[in-house]
Amino acid sequence: MAQLHFFGATHQVTGSQHLLELADGTRILVDCGTDMELFRKRNKELFITDPVTIDVVILTHAHIDHTGLLPLLVENGFDGPVYCTHATYQLVRILLRDAARLNVRKFGKKRMKPADYYDEKMVERIWDQFITVDFSIKHPLGNSNSFVFHPNGHLLGAAAITITWTEQNKVKSILFSGDIGHNDDPLLEDPEIPGGMDFMVCESTYGGRYHEDIGNAEEIILRMIRETCVDQPGRLIVPASSVGRTQVFLYLFNRLRRAGDLPPIPVFTDSPLARKSTAIYEDFRPYLNDTAREFGDDHGSLFDFDQVTYIADMDSAEQIQNYHEPCIILTSSGMVSGGKSEDHVLMNLQNPFCTILFIGFCAEGTLGHSLLQGRSSIRLGRELTPVNARIARTDALSGHADHNGLLEYVNIQKPDKLKKIFLVHGETGSMRQLADSLSQNGFHTEIPQRNESFTI
């Protein structure tokens, strides 16, 4: 019998690490992500299993909550292959190098470094272990096991993974959903959903939540710009992940600009990785949807237009703060948990002419989450800072499927064949609401605890 172990993203949205141990002894780690909750709690038990005993790592996508511990897995003895798609490999390279740079900046001079510390040299040691595999190609894992990547619409290169193995002459299969995107993403194809699975590990970020304004992305952006930067002399701050949502935003800005609808307002892209990741999106244009590809072919570039300035400077937030004309600021991270977006948001919290527009999920404990709760003031150190800026949100640019999208993703399976769905990558309330709906549709669900194992 195979065993499935859950090492992270249990009752929370970060730290994806799931180990599948097949009957022939092959040990496959799906994702190896940074766990922000453990990081905050200063619990440094990074790996529940000995990295030396893992045979293979397979990555769903490049985001750091799915890949951020890879350098430490290798440092602690993992020497097997790391499989991912071509685009994921290119994005992981810039994301892990950036994570290492941030580590060095934060801890480089301190004698005592945290256990989850890695530097740029450690990151450079892992690339030889990467093997890229294209979507829809059946790749063998030993004699009778294999895996396939299926595009899932969350991010360039992002995939769901099916793993198939033979046990007592019976073929068994499991689907790891990764982070599931939604249909009609401005840049990506709709998720491809493989059916006929025996087991499934499914994300649940937006369980119990519904995207209200999906499909109106350009209209919503334009309205926000007009209300903030045209009707008044304000600034629109959009916290967005450097890889993924920033490209969606730039693409939509570019479409509005080419259509003559975008007011002539400067757009500052202040996230260290934005330019590099945008170049990778251009390189992988054939992986984008038809509309985006055609737009890129017609205009030469998907993302570049004359109103955009990329900023890579360390003190960029202060420089932009001294710019007194209306402007739009795209900045990471999306949850406002450290990074440049925290500088911009904190500098503008008291500015009544500022709108902070949230476009993605903000986990509990982040500044983004606090602001979305509608708090009138935020405690910074000993001081309470009033929130005079307008706080807005839209789901139109989300990289995740909502409750209905998740149900649609699972409903393609047959309840009498699919023996169990394990819910991960969500907060407890979201997981329970999704589990309830799936049960009503005849599916059996399980919400694993950290370090819990199941025979499948």
Nearest position to Zn ion, beta carbon:
63
End-to-end C-alpha distance for the chain, whole angstroms: 6
Adjacent-strand bridge partners of 141: 145
Q: Is the CB of 9 or the CB of 302 nearer to Zn ion? A: 9
Report the distance separating Cα 21 and Cα 29, nearest Å: 9
CA dihedral (220, 204, 85, 242) in degrees, to 10, reads 40
Closest distance to Zn ion from the beta carbon of 399 (Å): 6
Nearest approach in angstroms of CB 61 to Zn ion is 6
Radius of gyration of the chain from its Cα atoms, rounded to whole angstroms: 22
Distance between CA atoms of 297 and 445, rounded to whole angstroms? 45
Q: What is the closest distance, in whole angstroms, from the C-beta atom of residue 154 to Zn ion in the complex?
A: 6
| Residue closer to Zn ion (CB basis): 254 or 337 | 337
Q: Which is nearer to Zn ion, 33 or 326 (CB)?
A: 33
b/e sequence 223-248, b meaning 16+ C-beta within 10 Å: ebbeebbeeeebbbbbbbbbbbbbbb
**Subset of residues 38 to 67 that bind Zn ion, contact rule: CB under 5 A:** 63
- Give min distance, CB of 386 to Zn ion, in A: 33
Query: What is the edge-to-edge ordering of all strands in the sheet holding 308-310?
Result: 308-310, 267-270, 327-331, 235-239, 354-358, 390-393
Q: Which is nearer to Zn ion, 177 or 254 (CB)?
A: 177
The tokens for 134 are: 């294209």
Identity of the residue, 63 or 235, whose beta carbon is nearer to Zn ion in the bound complex = 63
Among candidate residues 228, 172, 226, the one with its CA nearest the CA of residue 200: 172
The β-bridge relationship of strands 145-151 and 235-239 is: unpaired
Q: CB 363 → Zn ion: shortest distance, Å?
A: 12
Number of residues that bind Zn ion (CB under 5 A): 2
Which C-beta is closer to Zn ion: that of 229 or that of 240? 240
Shortest distance in whole angstroms from residue 67 CB to Zn ion: 10
Asked, as a colleague might, if the bond just before 333 is cis with ω within 30 of 0, I would say: yes
Residues 163-202: x where in contact with Zn ion by CB under 5 A, - otherwise, as a string: ----------------x-----------------------
Question: Which residues ranging from 197 to 226 are in contact with Zn ion (CB under 5 A)?
Answer: none
Q: Which is nearer to Zn ion, 37 or 343 (CB)?
A: 37
- Shortest Å, Cβ 241 to Zn ion: 8
DSSP run (H or E) holding 388:
none
Residues 358-387: x where in contact with Zn ion by CB under 5 A, - otherwise, as a string: ------------------------------
Measured from the CB atom, the residue of 172 and 245 that comes closer to Zn ion is 245
Q: For the CB of residue 232, give the shortest distance to Zn ion in the complex, in Å.
A: 35
Note the residues at the interface with Zn ion (CB under 5 A): 63, 179
